Structure 1
Amino acid sequence: MSGDNYGIQLAAGHLTVPAESKEPYAADVLASLHEDAALVVARYPQKRSALLPLLHLVQSVDGYVTGRGIDFCADVLDLSTAEVSGVATFYTQYKRHPNGEYTVGICTNTLCAIMGGDQIWDEVSEHLGIGHDETTPDGKVTLERVECNAACDFAPVVMANWEFFDNQTPESTKALVDDLRAGKDVKPSRGPDKVCSFKQVSRVLAGFHDGLADQGVGAGPASLVGLEIANERGWTAPDGGAAKADKGAAKADGKSTGKDEA
């Protein structure tokens, strides 16, 4: 993608943020950030532990981790900008260049891949004209190859701003990205009634609830099959506490349990 819009990928593999990302926050925006940051920091016994949610807070305002956002986090948490940048460049949920309104992640790990994930990626990438971690010219969709969307029982799986779209096909995924770009409300397979924007989701990840946690279902039928079988057959999980008590009693009696007690 163009370096003018999406940062410069250097030979060393580091991203140089655009110059405009270092411009100071407007006074009212900065005041609001400090107010929210104080609430986040108050949750931790050591304030430096609040760095991860504060980076999400920055993304909820700027849409990615800007230079000024790094300065803000460093100032609030008494960290160096190098420490903040080291964290921001380690986790892929933190973007170091402008991100789309919707991050669409296509799982191409083993199970999803053999169930059609690779084909979905190829066709959607060609359909949008972008590759991994690139954004459509309208700024709507950033496309990612994802190692695992943590929903193998619904493979192949696609996520939009970390909401599940199960049992996808190339056609359904192309329709998904087209609807997102058109500004339509899109309902995921599970979770809230519609996919929220990247900035809105970033604010939730910073620890500010959006009131949507109880919308929709949390687990689909395929995820519950094991539980249903266990209930039908009367299976229960081992009582860890009882097992430890039995082991302790055996030791007290001077008996061997016949197992490694290390």
Structure 2
Amino acid sequence: MAGTLPAPEAITAFARRCIEKNCQHVLLVGDLNDLQAIETIVDPCRPYALNVLLYPARGFERLKVDLVDIVPLGSVNSVRVLSAPLNDMGHLLKRSFDIAAAGFGLLLLSPLLLAVAVSIRMTSPGPALYRQERRGFNGRNFYILKFRSMRVMETGRAMRQAQVNDPRITPIGRFIRRTSIDELPQLINVLRGEMSLVGPRPHAISHDDELSEKFELYAQRQRIKPGITGWAQVNGHRGDTSTQDKIEARTLHDLYYAENWSVLLDIWIVILTVFSPRTRQNAR
């Protein structure tokens, strides 16, 4: 890390190339005392599921500190300064739970899904389903599936959030939004591997960009797959993000989930999603 550091934009581009090449580790070689340089490099990497490791150039024998998180990397030991939320076993367990739960859910709910699709087609012109581009895991974009609840379909990157008594929402749309039935087609996104059953709710691309500018930690939500439901939603932080307090509350709940994930936590969140009235709080 000696010499002039690259600009944050260049480090961000490098991190994205690492993700595109399925790289899991970034190794920094430098001085442990140069904390500012470490942070300058680590910060642009935080939105991505990367392990950032530090190898002290002067060796550990000269250091009089107790390094807790030392990771073997090849023939050397490195200090982990940023870790991905899930390890390989965590990814396997979470993916297995997603496939089992989403497959069972689609099978069990197929009569309801068919009835809702028919009701939408019969009560307003347009398709029953629509796709909209969202930002997902490690910043990769995908198209989310939803039941159409409005008279308009904003399928691009920009989208205007629903408001109280929004005239764009159809009568059947108001019902399926309040009960979250409009989100059920995302079980297909889960089977595709684009989403997880539980995780941070993905926002439209334009909202993502705007919220990232308002709260520096916001982009770190994409270090784990987006979900149909999440820790923020079951704690009442759903819907409106018009104030800084609401943005921060949702983001901090999502980051707590990413850092404390377990299969049991996923199961608990699914149970709360179905039975807790707080989950439907602020639904519009």
- In the superposition, the TM-score normalised over structure 2's length comes to 0.27
Point out the structure with max Rg over C-alpha: 1
Structure with bigger strand share is 2
- In the superposition, the TM-score normalised over structure 1's length comes to 0.28
